[in-house]
Structure 1
Amino acid sequence: MWLQQRLKGLPGLLSSSWARRVLGLLGFVLLLLWYVGGRARRTGAGPGLHLLPWSSGPGEPRAAEPQACVEAATRAWRVLQERGEAVPLGTRVPDGAADPESAPAAPPALVGNGFLALDVSHNRLWVMPGERQPPVAPELAPFVQLRPLSAQAEAGAAALLLRQGLVRRVRCLQPPEPPPGAGGAAGAAGQAASAGAGAQCVLLQEDFLAHRARPHLYVQRIHIHNPTERVAALWTVGPTPRPPLKAFSSTLEKAGDHQFLLHSGHSPPLPNGKVNLVVVAAKKLVDLLQVAPKSLLDEAVLWVVYISEPVDLRALKAKGAKEMKELKALQDLARKEILELMEIPVAELLLDHQQLWAQLFASGVEMKKINDAHTPSSLTVNLTLYYMLSCSPAPLLSPTLSRWERDQMEATLNYEDHCFSGHATMHAENLWPGRLSNVLQILQLSDVWKLTLQKRGCKGLVKVGAPGIMQGMVLSFGGLQFTENHLQFQADPDVLHNSYILHGIHYKTDHINLAVLLDGEGKPFLHVSVKPHSPPVKIYACEAGCLNEPVELTSEPQGHTFPVMVTQPITPLLYISTDLLHLQDLRHTLHLKAILAHEEHMAKQYPGLPFLFWFSVASLITLFHLFLFKLIYNEYCGPGAKSLFRSKEDPSV
């Protein structure tokens, strides 16, 4: 009864102005407290305000902390991405299979060295035994998977670092909150550590790479930073055979202070019924990684892979003597190399790998400005170059190469006769695809590129391996070709509306950079610069027709510019040679009809609409006016025409 009476009096209370103001002010304050507290929790910048009864307490996991930790750890990737040296692979790359929703959007996470190809996202291994031979895919998960013993929340990201030749994956793990009453000092220290964003998270960074100079070696480097007050523990799983095919057996072997696992087995059967024997030796990693509070852990797992020529599966099952001898020989090779590698500091192996990849990317293609939809983007060009280098061996970079063999390969690399013949490949979409979805597509693209280069006069460069493949791709992109006496730039004058730079073109002992740039009016011009090496060699250049005296190319920072001239008939736009007399004589051997500036050539190529079109338009306009004149004449001057002026006697007025 009391409550009913109070409810009946509520409308009268709200009719008072001061009561409505107090109620409105109270509602505004509650709304403000809810907004400020929720924003503080979402940003992870502080403990937030837990003043409302439904607000989250200190024990609730804050999902923003791992994400803030990931953003801090990957901040340096943004600068590399702007320079075209890093490609993000999505917000999370799982240990097993990729997320089906995010996988198609990200390029394949491939690392390789021409013999090994590894898909980090799907934890798969391919072995490329040789040219024109199908890749071998052992049923073995190649990498170690790290699984936290306990984690309240997790976030991660991954990127492909092109100039370092590796995939880097970052994971931030938020450990569970300590139980109530677990220790006043520890609890207070944990709360103090959580004051900053991501301070409670354990940072796990993994680098995956296939060593550039050692074709049988791939590495997984593990770095763990534990800033919390608790021990961080992670289970290690793998490498393991993939079910249901368990074609591998594993043994633990010891040699002195070193322990390693030896996995022996065979690949899935080929269409002809044969298989490849596969032996993988791996450094032994403890089953549980434990990182003390406020400390770091650096670990690296080394793998060595050897395969045999195809053998008959039935003979293998029958334990034939030949097959067992081959398997034992592979095991001996794997044991020997893994023991040698375990004596080398891991930092030295990683530094050697990164320096070699940086040398490969001293050459390349840089897209400055794209003005059409058919020219590949900078991301497409960089990814294609990286993938082709990852699928190409590099015998020139091998530490076991003799001095004579090295000199022969370098001579081929510095001057390759008649490479690249034919038109430029800039607009060949099958060679510069905008999207590659899996590793098998990349391996097929590598075969197409090698076949194209071989058929266009670049067999010597393909034999050199990855440095030669890079050189051939750069030459083909812009339409550069070596001849007996010079290097010529024979791009199509009609497609010079895009700006790009070809870096590190090997010529003799020097490196040449050639750029196609646009001035303020959109007119193209050529810019050439030289990076000399000892001993210095004089290099000269002249534009199309070589009517002007050749210019000596120097190492001046501003370089040298040349106008784009178009000859009739069409000849190369630029000639580069170390023989000055050859360039001076060249003008007398071209036999040209005319030399035009680029804008004059384009005006003749596209003179506008044909005469018949304009004649038709003019005829239609003339006929329309004649018809209009006839209508007016019949209205006022024909039979029964009306007078132009009406008199007052007109009854209609």
Structure 2
Amino acid sequence: MAIEDIIKAGRRLVEGNISSRRALFLVIVASAFVLYVGPGMLRWLLGSSRPRPLPLPNVHSADGPRQCIRERLYAFDAELARLDSVLSHVPPRPGDHQHVPYVGNGHVALAASEDSPVYARDQRTLNASVPFMPVVSAVLDGATESPQEVVVVQYVDGVVQRLQCYPMGDRSLDVTYKYFAHRTLPGLLVQEIKVRNPTELDQMLELRQRGVSQWSGAAVRRDSVVHGQDSHPYVVVTGVVRTADQKHRGVVVVSSTMEGSVTVKGSSLVTVRCLTAVNYTEPQTSDEAARRQLTELRLEQATVAVYTEGVSEDPSRLLSSHVEVWRRLWTSGFAISHSLADDVINGDVINATLYYVMSQARAPLHEKTTDLSRLPEHRAHLQYTEGCYGDKLHTLQAHRLWSPLRSVTDVLETANLWLMLLEKKGCHNMLGAGADGVMQAMILSMGALKFSNQHLEFGMEPKDLHRDYVFRRLNFGNGTHVTLRVSVDDDNKAHIDVTLDRSDKSYFGCDAGCLDVPVRLGSEPTRFPVKLTDPPTPVLYITSDWQHLEELKHTIHVKEVNVAPAHDHHLMALHRHGHALGGLPTFFWVSIFLLIGVFHLFLVKLVINEYCGGQDKFRTRSYWRGDRSQILGLSVKVR
């Protein structure tokens, strides 16, 4: 058909009268286009899929402190997307994860707030409160407005950062606080404050630190240490605190003495550091015994030595050595696909819980203070995996273990539950390796994984494998690490991929029942189907002993072994889309109902026009031969 013919046909369509059915059809087509194609076209026209522009410098910001905060957060975008960090606003906003900004290393802990005391160990957790408040705040002198503020807890780095922006006309003075409990120097708490002044005028900030607060019987003295050409004044506080079980600990705190204010010249950056060293005795039966042990162990001199080492260390190296240990701890881990169903555990809660529980455990394999003669003992604890965890109920089903972490009390209660559970479930030897062992034990518990008699068994039931899981770098006990990946395909059936990151010998695996020939494992993923047995057995076995697997199948007495059926479509839709409507969004069904309603309105209007219309506005067309008055099965008079 020529272009001229198409144009003429279109003109006749526009100029002529349109039948009611054709009008209805055009309305339906137009509605579908607007509902489904329109939003995508609008996003494309607005360029929402274009790359994010580079952050602008902190000058001439039309939005003042808000723009300053947005620029500062660009550096955290990647780790926030990976759930390696969590962001909250001050004051809180709807949708924020209100996890307490908390740092700890198993020996000492601190919350990033002015009224936070130092926390020391008492039994399983750091719940002994020491009435010394070391947190330093920098407040802009003469500020008429509160600063915009956000807090970022960096799980993988073991660091808490507070970002503040004070309005300064069309610019913003920004303050960055950084807190961490050092992993290689367990007695050291580090605070760093950086103030950047983009204006031409000098600005003064008042430094506030509460220090000793109602510590009965505490002795205070002041001194200083010289490093290079700088003198670093500090305060020494010695006293006794009472633990939850009515025991007594002698405690020594050495903390930097901060000046009353700091001046930041125009277009310049100033950094202030506050170091706090903490040491304490073992629990004693009385106050006198605790004070006597303070003297016998010369804890004051030892604590000053830790403070001096922190002062003399290069700040960047001090931070990097701390971060390096935390990142080693996170080389193992657990990941889970995000679910939109109600009351489920997702990756953000899991990472937060792992971080807070590991903050209650020391890392003797990485600490400078660890006695070298005891290192083999700690390594042996990590490699002794027998009997941990070994419960058919994986911990993802225990909602008490995943409670909100809004306060230090929440953190201590959750960590105590976890450590007590792992200890009672056969992981006590592994916990002796410190934070490394805590991470391994928690991962095992999440998958009902168990090391038993020379093999690792994966105990989750097939019905629970309805989400994607990754158990990353499970320590097999001899330096070999195993990664298990559970994936659910489009047909809603799960399978397991097994990978070894390195191995000093051959390893083999078999699926549920172990009736098939064992498969050799390697650095490339090896796939196993998820099978359902009667009676239920673990879905996977891994060992380095081929003969062990060959004999194991004779000890697993099963009546029937079949490939596990596909998961229910409604269950999968609930996790993937937040509802069980066949995987289609609620917006689709609302659109369908609207179109059905529009169709019935047109149908009612058509019937009314045919029966009651005095003058027809639409010209109808005959659909069969015969009298033109017989149209659509209705007898009407046509002009």
Query: Is TM more than 0.5 here?
Result: yes
More off after superposition, 145-154 vs 166-175: 145-154
Q: What letter corresponds to residue 294 of structure 1 in structure 2?
A: S
Q: What's 1:387 paired with? A: 356
Aligned to 1:589: 555
Distance 1:83 1:601 in 2: 27
Q: Where do residues 433-512 of structure 1 align in structure 2 (5 Å cutoff)?
A: 433=403, 435-507=404-476, 508-512=478-482
Shift, 1:416, TM fit: 0.7
CA distance in 2, matches of 1:356, 1:271: 31
Larger-gyration structure (1/2): 1
Superposed displacement of residue 324, structure 1: 7.8
Of 170, 177, 195, the match for 1:224: 195
CA contact (8 A) 2:87 2:97 kept: no
TM-score (norm 1): 0.71
Per-residue deviation at 1:275? 5.0
Point out which structure has higher relative CO (alpha carbons under 8 A, 6+ apart).
2
Matched, 1:165 2:158: yes
Once structures 1 and 2 are overlaid, which stretch shifts more, 403-412 or 115-124? 403-412
What SS class does the counterpart of residue 536 from structure 2 fall into? coil
- RMSD, aligned α-carbons: 3.1
- Partner residue of 2:273 out of 280, 300, 304: 300
Structure 1 distance, partners of 2:207, 2:165, is 17
Aligned position for 2:523: 555
Counterparts of 1:402 and 1:274 in 2: how far apart (Å)?
27
Q: In structure 2, what is the equivalent of residue 530 of structure 1?
A: 500
Is 1:207 aligned to 2:175, yes or no?
no
Number of the residue aligned with 2:119: 127
Q: Structure 1 pair 276/103, CA: closer, same or farther in 2 (3 Å)?
A: farther
Contact 2:125-2:412 within 8 A present in 1 as well:
no
Is the Cα–Cα contact under 8 Å of residues 381 and 432 in structure 2 kept in the other structure? no
Structure 1 Cα separation of the partners of residues 135 and 440 of structure 2: 32
> Amino acid of the residue matched to residue 70 of structure 2?
E
How far residue 265 of structure 1 moved from its aligned partner, in angstroms, is 4.4
Aligned to 1:516: 486
Displacement of 1:159:
1.0
TM-score normalised per structure 2: 0.73
Post-superposition shift, 1:136?
Answer: 1.9
Q: Match for 2:334 among 365, 372, 375?
A: 365
SS of match in other structure, 1:549: coil
Deviations 1:336-364 (A, max 9, x none): 22112222112111001101111111111
Number of aligned residue pairs: give it: 506
- 1:598 lines up with 2:597 in the alignment: no
Residue 278 of structure 1: CA displacement? 2.9
- Structure 1 pair 312–565 and aligned structure 2 pair: CA distance change class (3 A): closer
The answer to whether the 8 A contact 1:113-1:393 is kept is: yes
Specify whether residues 85 and 212 from structure 1 end up closer, same or farther in structure 2 by C-alpha distance, changes over 3 A only.
Answer: same
Matches of 2:312 and 2:479 in 1, distance apart? 36
Cα offsets for 1:500-523 (capped at 9, x unmatched): 111121112122111221011111
Match of 1:85 in 2: 84
- Please tell me whether residue 427 in structure 1 is matched to residue 397 in structure 2: yes
Q: Return the structure number with greater strand share.
A: 2
**Which whole-Å CA distance do the structure 2 matches of 1:372 and 1:277 have between them?**
50
Measure how far apart 1:104 and its partner are. 9.5
Mark the CA change 1:275 to 1:570 in structure 2 (over 3 Å): closer, same or farther.
closer
Residue 174 of structure 1 is matched in structure 2 by 167
Find the counterpart in structure 2 of residue 410 from structure 1: 379
Query: Deviation of residue 473 (structure 1)?
Result: 0.4
Deviates more, 1:227-236 or 1:279-288: 279-288
Relative to structure 1, the CA distance from residue 310 to residue 454 in structure 2 (aligned partners, 3 Å threshold; closer, same or farther) is closer
1:154-303 matched pairs, under 5 angstroms: 154-175=147-168, 194=170, 200-242=171-213, 248=218, 250-257=220-227, 258-266=231-239, 276-303=249-276
8 A Cα contact 2:384 2:429, kept in partner: no
In structure 2, C-alpha distance between the alignment counterparts of 1:458 and 1:331, rounded to whole Å: 36
Query: Which of 546, 554, 569 is equivalent to 1:580?
Result: 546
**Tell me, what secondary structure is at the counterpart of 1:541?**
strand
Matching of residues 135-150 of structure 1 within 5 Å:
135-150=127-142
Per the TM alignment, residue 133 of structure 1 is displaced from its structure 2 partner at its CA by: 7.7
The one-letter code matched in structure 1 to 2:78 is V
Show CA shifts across 1:367-413 (max 9, x none): 11437545411111111101101111222221233455323332432
CA distance, structure 1, for counterparts of residue 179 and residue 116 of structure 2 = 12
Relative distance call for 1:581 and 1:137 in structure 2 (3 A) is same
Distance of aligned partners of 1:311 and 1:406 in 2 relative to their CA distance in 1, 3 Å threshold: closer
Could you tell which deviates more after superposition, 306-315 or 213-222? 306-315
Match of 2:584 in 1: none
The letter for the 2-side match of 1:128 is A
> SS at the partner of 1:453?
helix
Aligned residue number for residue 115 of structure 1: 107
Q: Does the CA-based 8 Å contact 2:141-2:204 persist in structure 1? A: yes
1:540 corresponding residue in structure 2: 508
Task: Judge which range, 117-126 or 451-460, deviates more.
Answer: 117-126
> What secondary structure, in the 3-state scheme, does the structure 2 residue paired with 1:331 have?
helix
Q: CA shift at 1:568, angstroms? A: 1.7
Give the structure 1 partner of residue 607 of structure 2. Answer: none
Specify the code of the residue in structure 2 equivalent to 1:112. Answer: G
Match of 1:570 in 2: 536
In 2, Cα distance between equivalents of 1:354 and 1:143: 21
Q: Say if 1:204 and 1:504 are closer, same or farther in 2 by CA, change over 3 A.
A: same
User: Does the CA contact (< 8 Å) of 1:156 and 1:170 recur in 2?
Assistant: yes
Secondary structure of 2:251 counterpart: strand
Aligned-partner Cα distance in 2 for 1:461–1:481: 13
1:579 is aligned with what amino acid? Answer: D
Could you tell me which residue of structure 2 aligns to residue 6 of structure 1? none
Is the deviation greater in 334-343 or in 162-171?
334-343
2:366 alignment counterpart: 397
Q: 2:50 matched to which residue of 1?
A: none
The runs of 5 or more residues in structure 2 that have no matched partner are: 1-54, 570-639
1:524 is displaced (CA, Å) by 1.0
Unmatched 5+ stretches in structure 1: 1-44, 47-60, 93-98, 178-193, 195-199, 604-653
Identify the residue that residue 637 of structure 2 maps to in structure 1.
none
Question: In the alignment, what sits opposite 1:629?
Answer: none
CA contact (8 A) 1:152 1:174 kept: no
How much does 1:565 deviate? 1.0
Q: CA deviation at 1:325?
A: 3.4
Farther off after superposition, 516-525 or 397-406? 397-406
State whether residues 262 and 279 of structure 1, in contact with CA within 8 Å, keep that contact through their aligned partners in structure 2.
no
SS at match of 2:337: strand
Q: Which residue of 1 aligns with 2:302?
A: 333
Secondary structure of residue in 1 paired with 2:379: helix
- The offset of 1:135, in angstroms, is 2.5
Shift of 1:530: 1.9
